[in-house]
Structure 1
Amino acid sequence: MPQLQRSAPLAEQAADALLARLAAGEWALGAKLPGETTLAGQLGVGRSTVREGIRQLAGRGVLESRQGAGVFVLALQAPEDWDQLLRRADIVAVLEARTAIEAEAAALAATRRTPVELRALHRLLDARDAHDGDVPAYVDADIAFHRAIVAAAHNEVLAQLFDGFVPRVRRAMIDMLRIRPAHRDAGADRDVHRGIVDAIAEKDAAAAASRTRSHLADLAENLA
């Protein structure tokens, strides 16, 4: 049983892990969940974290705690709430805007980057990996990497657009990783970003733009 990673509040992760197991058919409607001690051992967290995760799912109509009897399954998936729907819509809008800015910036960077800027991209790519597991620090490192691509485009207007957009990008990306942490494959993500850098290094503008566009489209698709 995989243990939780410290990329989001542990109780929220515990709730997400239990939801995933419900969706996978581990427990049927009306079934009684194992006790807190068992679940805590499986998830690698404390009983209080499991208790809070169960409380969150009870509030969403998925589980029901019956005093003296245990915790029972009321639904196999949580209904979407309006807050989360609005957050997802905002994230998708941000990703669409990022595509408009960053795909063009990547294409220009492929034709205009300097050797110094290329070395900086490789360094910032490595820095992203160093923060994997700490969501805010990881997002900051990711933004720094993409900002370097925009800088390498040598287009002042694109740089101003990106810089003015950073606070909203940061908020949306943190939300995205907390809503769907299980969808992120660190190895695949690393390969995608390395592919963008490789295209810029090879001065292949079409590939740099295409890979950037595809990456951002995949992030939006994974929110569905």
Structure 2
Amino acid sequence: MGLLTQAKPPLDKTSPGSTREVADQIAALDVDEFKDTLELRATLDYMAVKMAADQRSDADCDKLRVCAVSIEAVCGVVDIEAAIASEVALYAAIYSATQNDMLCQLADGFGERIQENIRQNRLRLNGSEVTRRILRDQQGDIIDAILRKDGVAAGDALLLHLAFIREALVELEAVELRLAQIQKNLDNAKLCMDPEGAPS
């Protein structure tokens, strides 16, 4: 699958700066591009899961079951790189299960962007255990539908999954804006109470 399966180098978790590196990556995210890529995935991934449900082989089913085990394993821990790797592996398995070279080539052309979208998703959402469990359950529903050869259910589960990510992102944006405003108000109040501490 080319780009779709080429994970970026993991963060150095032993480095004292690793937590700061994650924070810097989150701050650098392009929210508009993130949303645009979700729209792209709503088209490509939707076709892929429906086609995979119709065309998957026994070997594909085995790969999807392995993905389900991996997704379950990373759900209980805050390990961004493991979560990213498990999700990239899931979509690689789904596209492979379509048995459609043209769709796989099309996805491969956008593979780097799709993978980056998955990375952004996890950077922003992986800190919440509740959210990780919701994502796990949604991905499990996609896998189960493909294994049952239920393309309609697989497509519905995929769209629900992407809609949840979009809504969670919107909520996070609103919270971040409120926190930034609160911090600004606190800083202004501090300057008013301690004018000598104000910069000259």
TM-score band by shorter chain is 0.5 to 0.7
Mapping 1:81-160, distance limit 5 Å = 84=29, 87-132=30-75, 133-160=78-105
Distance across 1 between alignment mates of 2:74 and 2:86: 7
Distance across 2 between alignment mates of 1:148 and 1:155: 12
- AA aligned opposite 2:139: H
Q: Is 2:133 the partner of 1:187?
A: yes
Distance across 1 between alignment mates of 2:93 and 2:122: 22
| Structure 2 SS opposite 1:185 | helix
Which is worse superposed, 163-172 or 103-112?
Answer: 163-172
| Structure 2 SS opposite 1:103 | helix
More helix by share: 2
Shift, 1:126, TM fit: 1.4
User: How does the TM-score come out when normalised to structure 1?
Assistant: 0.59
- AA aligned opposite 1:189: L
Mapping 1:197-216, distance limit 5 Å = 197-216=143-162
Distance across 2 between alignment mates of 1:123 and 1:201: 12
Distance across 2 between alignment mates of 1:9 and 1:223: 23
Asked if 2 retains the 8 angstrom alpha-carbon contact of 1:192 and 1:211, the reply is yes
Which is worse superposed, 106-115 or 134-143?
Answer: 134-143
For structure 1, list consecutive stretches of 5 or more residues without a partner in the other structure. Answer: 1-5, 16-55, 57-80
Asked if 2 retains the 8 angstrom alpha-carbon contact of 1:88 and 1:176, the reply is no
For structure 2, list consecutive stretches of 5 or more residues without a partner in the other structure. Answer: 1-12, 171-200
User: How does the TM-score come out when normalised to structure 2?
Assistant: 0.65
Match of 1:217 among 163, 177, 180: 163
- AA aligned opposite 1:102: D
Which whole-Å deviations, capped at 9, do the CAs of 1:186-207 have from their partners, x for residues lacking one? 2222211111111112111111
Higher RCO, 1 vs 2 (CA within 8 Å, ≥6 residues apart): 2
Query: RMSD in angstroms over aligned alpha carbons?
Result: 2.6
- AA aligned opposite 2:81: P
- AA aligned opposite 1:157: M
Shift, 1:11, TM fit: 4.8
Shift, 1:177, TM fit: 2.5
| Structure 2 SS opposite 1:223 | helix
Distance across 1 between alignment mates of 2:161 and 2:43: 13
Deviating beyond 4 angstroms after TM superposition, the runs of 4 or more aligned structure 1 residues are none
